[in-house]
Structure 1
Amino acid sequence: MVDKIKNVFVSHHHKDDASVDGLSDMVSKRGYKFRNSSIRVKPENQNRIDQGKISERTIKRLLRMKMRWASQVIVVIGKETHQRKWVNWEIDAARKLGKPVIGVYENGLKDQVELPENLKKYGASVVGWRSGSVIDALEGKSKFQFPDGTPFPKAQGGNVVC
């Protein structure tokens, strides 16, 4: 039974697509359903992007449209996420649109990983892969954790969650 439905935009490195599905499955067991407006690029479209056949301006416009619809932006944090130009751009775009940004470490991460710069600046929460932590963050209970779920102090920035 679904108790809550959240419209979200999930920012992620395309290699982490399975984690997007896993995140949705994990919270659904606790009565949450995501309606995810993020983009998953098919291989043939990725080739068109890589070849410059789709302009950055067009991609940014599409991403902003999809983010406007969402109430929150979730960033799936993997080992390479901090290096992804588009993830960092999406976090900044979310901030400009007034969307709370929640970072969720990928399932199975044991070691500390580097966070995207804009997530460090503008994140409302950064939590481990635990349904309770993710749901608390979605409910506006700001938390900052290492991948194993232990807390770390928030040093700078952040969105105000009302």
Structure 2
Amino acid sequence: MNKKIFISFHYDRDAWRAAQVRNHPDMQYSFHKTELLDAAKWDKLKQKGDIAIKNWIKCQLEGSTVTIVLIGKETAQRRFIKYEIEQSYYRGNGLIGIYIHKLKNQFGYSDEKGENPFEHFYLHHDYLNPLTKHTKTYDWIDDNGPKNISSWIEDAAKSTLRKHACY
């Protein structure tokens, strides 16, 4: 397998849920994942401003082959997630979305389902051709993510969707 995975998620709201996916055994031992910032490092990076954050994202994407967007309630509205999707797409990474709203947070609560963030991107400047038509999304709970994550990543890595104009 040996794929480098970039994992995109809304840090403040979904870090606990994202950790459950990142720490799954298949993710731990089968794939190389990009760095996960702890709260202190994230706060320090945010203080440096947008350019520093974008540079960090580009650095983390370097060498990655698949980007997983973990979709929570507010994911689609986050500007840096939009930037991560855009940069991943331009790099030719395989893209997948995984809904994580049913996972419980550190306080034992699940969340409401969020909007698909891929709906904000279009191929070839064609508003009738959203990225959602070409990018698979799954639900970690309903689609048995613990059993299927490896095959989802492999499918995304083989995706024929590559290097189209996207905005």
**TM-score normalised according to structure 1 size:** 0.68
Say if 1:95 and 1:159, in contact at 8 Å, map to a contact too. Answer: no
Deviations 1:122-159 (A, max 9, x none): 663211102344322211169xxxxxxxxxxxxxxx96
Where does structure 1 lack aligned partners over 5 or more consecutive residues? Answer: 143-157
Give 1:80 shift.
0.9
- Aligned partner of 1:131 among 124, 139, 146: 146
Per the alignment, residue 18 of structure 1 pairs with 16
Aligned residues: 139
Contact 2:73–2:101 (8 Å) recurs in 1 = no
Measure, in 1, the Cα distance between the counterparts of 2:22 and 2:33: 9
Residue identity in the other structure for 2:151: D
In 1, the alpha carbon distance for the partners of 2:156 and 2:66 equals 13
Residue matched to 1:56: 50
Superposition CA RMSD, Å: 3.2
Structure 2 portions without partners, runs of 5+: 104-110, 123-129, 163-167
Paired residue type of 1:81:
T
Aligned positions of 1:32-111 closer than 5 A: 33-40=30-37, 42-43=39-40, 45-46=42-43, 49=46, 53-106=47-100, 108=102
- Give identity over the alignment, percent: 21
